């Protein structure tokens, strides 16, 4: 094992948990930085939540309830979503506390989450008559020579459109969203086709953008191409091989400032200086 790949511990790390199953988030984390993947999924170092992650989870929970109301044609008042948000806020905090800078930051973040929901629901982008086939749908697939693949899709429309929600600091730059999220899109398409026997009719990324005045940006995409499906499966094989071989190469970038394992990474003794 090279100095570059040697982990902090003396013993050979147990990779069984990391390979118990594959998911879009595991693959994307590994693509982002192999060492971060090591800390999160192999060493399994617990990390607290961040303001951005917390906001994202709360917004997802509110949209989930909103979609359930749409699905069941249940009558609801927009203001009721605020109660859903407040409940989700407290529940998520109990599960994963956030180290807020101060009380004002926590309050501002909560209001920002509400402003995003308001912007999304009143954006006119949602067709209340769209049929819904599933919300937070868990799908599993067994692919030859790979650990089981698992994913949870935010929303699937009756016309086989897959929707994923994102909260982001800025709008996706022109034409990049599809590439940036290609692993996730490929995984979702594989899961959908495996579980339904049908091809998705398209995929959508709904970005809720945390600008001063919140914005909503929808990226609509064609079904994932056969070539991209093949590439995603190839990526999974490379991922499994790299995890098994103990490749924990780091990928320093501006993203390190927000990495929850920055301290552990700085203390890493096996890496090249
Ligand atoms: S600090 Fe940067 S290089 Fe280190 S694990 Fe995190 S993302 Fe990777």
Coil, strand, or helix at residue 118? helix
158 and 136 co-located in one domain: yes
For ligand 1, the distance from its centroid to the CA atom of residue 8, given in whole angstroms, is 14
Look up the domain containing 202 and give its range.
Answer: 132-233
201 part of a folded domain: yes
CATH number of the domain within which 198 lies: 3.90.320.10
200 and 107 co-located in one domain: no
Q: Residue 39 burial (CB < 10 Å; 0-12/13-18/19+)? A: buried
Q: Is the CB of 45 under 6 A from ligand 1?
A: no
Cα gap 92→58, rounded to integer Å: 7
Provide φ and ψ at 21, rounded to 5°.
Answer: -155, 165
**What digits encode the pLDDT tens for the residues 150-204?**
999 999 999 999 999 999 999 988 778 999 999 999 999 999 999 999 999 999 9
75 — pLDDT class (breaks 50, 70, 90): confident
Work out which ligand 1 atom sits closest to the CA atom of 36: 5
108 and 148 co-located in one domain: no
117 and 174 co-located in one domain: no
Instruction: Give the pLDDT confidence score for residue 128 in this predicted structure.
Output: 74
Residue of 29, 35, 264, 267 to mutate, ligand 1, most atoms within 8 A of C-beta:
35
126 part of a folded domain: no
For ligand 1, the distance from its centroid to the CA atom of residue 235, given in whole angstroms, is 21
pTM to 2 decimals? 0.91
**What digits encode the pLDDT tens for the residues 76-119?**
888 899 999 999 999 999 998 998 999 999 999 999 999 999 99
99 and 138 co-located in one domain: no
Cα gap 10→7, rounded to integer Å: 8
For ligand 1, the distance from its centroid to the CA atom of residue 37, given in whole angstroms, is 9
**What digits encode the pLDDT tens for the residues 10-50?**
467 889 999 999 999 999 999 999 999 999 999 999 888 88
Q: Whose CA is nearest to atom 3 of ligand 1?
A: 252
Number of domains in the chain: 2
103 part of a folded domain: yes
Residue of 31, 255, 257 to mutate, ligand 1, most atoms within 8 A of C-beta:
255
Check whether 9 has a pLDDT greater than 60.
Answer: no
115 and 161 co-located in one domain: no
152 part of a folded domain: yes
Cα gap 178→160, rounded to integer Å: 18
263 part of a folded domain: no
Check whether 273 has a pLDDT greater than 90.
Answer: no
6 part of a folded domain: no
Instruction: Give the pLDDT confidence score for residue 175 in this predicted structure.
Output: 76
253 part of a folded domain: no
């Amino acid at each position: 094992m090279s100095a570059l790949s040697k982990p902090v511990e003396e013993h050979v790390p147990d990779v069984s948990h990391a390979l118990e199953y594959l998911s879009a988030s595991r693959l994307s984390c590994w693509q982002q930085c192999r060492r971060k993947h090591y800390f999160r999924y192999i060493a399994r170092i617990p990390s607290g939540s961040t303001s951005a992650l917390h906001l994202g989870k709360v917004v997802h929970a509110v949209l989930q309830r909103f979609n359930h109301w749409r699905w069941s044609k249940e009558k609801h008042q927009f203001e009721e979503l605020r109660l859903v948000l407040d409940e989700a806020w407290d529940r998520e905090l109990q599960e994963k506390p956030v180290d807020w800078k101060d009380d004002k930051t926590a309050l501002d973040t909560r209001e920002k989450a509400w402003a995003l929901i308001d912007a999304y629901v009143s954006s006119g982008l949602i067709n209340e008559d769209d049929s819904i086939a599933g919300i937070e749908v868990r799908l599993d697939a067994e692919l030859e020579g790979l650990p089981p693949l698992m994913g949870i899709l935010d929303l699937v429309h009756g016309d086989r459109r897959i929707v994923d929600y994102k909260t982001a600091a800025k709008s996706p730059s022109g034409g990049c969203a599809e590439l940036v999220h290609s692993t996730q899109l490929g995984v979702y398409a594989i899961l959908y086709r495996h579980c339904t026997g049908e091809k998705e009719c398209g995929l959508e990324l709904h970005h809720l953008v945390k600008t001063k005045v919140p914005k909503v940006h929808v990226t609509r995409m064609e079904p994932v191409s056969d070539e991209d499906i093949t590439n995603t499966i190839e990526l999974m094989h490379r991922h499994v091989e790299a995890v098994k071989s103990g490749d924990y190469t780091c990928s320093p970038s501006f993203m390190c400032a927000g990495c929850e394992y920055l301290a552990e990474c700085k203390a890493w003794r096996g890496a090249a200086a």
